[in-house]
Amino acid sequence: MSPLLLATLCVSALYGWVAWRLRRAPGAVSVRALLPLALLAHGALIYHSVLGQGDIRLGFGNSLSTILWLTALAYWLSSQGAPLARLQSWVSGLAAASVLLMVVFTDSHAIPNSQALALRAHLVVSFLAYGLLAVAALHAVLMTMLEKQLHRGALTQDGAPPLLTLEAMLFRTIGVGFVLLTLAVFSGVFFSEELFGTAVQFSHKTVLAILSWLVFGGLLLGRRFRGWRGRTALYWTITGFTLLLLAYLGTQFVLEVLLGR
């Protein structure tokens, strides 16, 4: 077994243990100590996979793992002082699966002009937008589940924050994520030739990304002028992230995994 494979399996196992302990004993000192270690080790694996050969190499496996690493990192940072262990356990479990996917889906390709600072900035902003909006989507899923529990008369929320607190966190996350998504979408559309060496092409990937941007923008406008909240906000959030997921990871999955290109 290669050292890299062994390290990957260890990181996945560590995430899995953290996820299990967060479900069983959210306040355990060992969990608070080992989750940052898992995040650090996961980040090192991503750095080796994406930047280890000098250029930027992306594929379905390491792209998905990068997004879930950013999601787990954002949730760990936001959980300081907030009882978010329930959702953090889900995020840690997903991160564990994404580390294993780096072993399964090993194909990657070098990004043209990857030494250009503008392109690197575009990719960083894009991944940050993905990570934050993934956090928002997970918030929306948790809020939907809690709302259904409350309507059934199950008043306990298993240590989760009140719905109003989660809603405020949701819109703060969407606001920052929308700003980053705006920078990512419009830098990609208007500076395509400088970033990628080709003129912009309105493929389904571009169209889906713009639709996602419109959905999140519409949600923030609806919140500002119509007071949207509750299920309306949750459905718009999940729809917007689904479109964003299909725009990039969906395209990569079809091209690399299904079609082998």
What per-residue string of b and e applies to 58-67 under the rule 16 or more CB within 10 Å gives b? bbbbbbbbbb
For residue 259, pLDDT over 80 is answered with no
* Mean pLDDT, the chain, whole residue set: 80
User: Is there a single domain that holds both residue 151 and residue 177?
Assistant: yes
User: Is there a single domain that holds both residue 247 and residue 119?
Assistant: yes
- Domain around 180: 111-261
Distance CA(30)–CA(254), nearest Å, equals 40
User: Is there a single domain that holds both residue 136 and residue 247?
Assistant: yes
Most confidently modeled of 50-54, 78-82, 167-171?
A: 167-171
Q: Kindly give, in sequence order, each residue whose CB lies less than 8 Å from that of residue 197, ignoring residues fewer than 6 positions away.
A: 112, 113
CA angle 37, 45, 13 (to 5 degrees): 55
- Quote the pLDDT of residue 59: 82
Distance CA(181)–CA(137), nearest Å, equals 14
User: Is there a single domain that holds both residue 229 and residue 115?
Assistant: yes
User: Is there a single domain that holds both residue 118 and residue 240?
Assistant: yes
Q: pLDDT tens digits, residue range 210-238?
A: 999 999 999 999 998 888 887 888 899 99
Query: What pTM does this model have?
Result: 0.81
| CA 19 to centroid of chain Cα atoms | 17
Count the domains in the chain.
Answer: 2
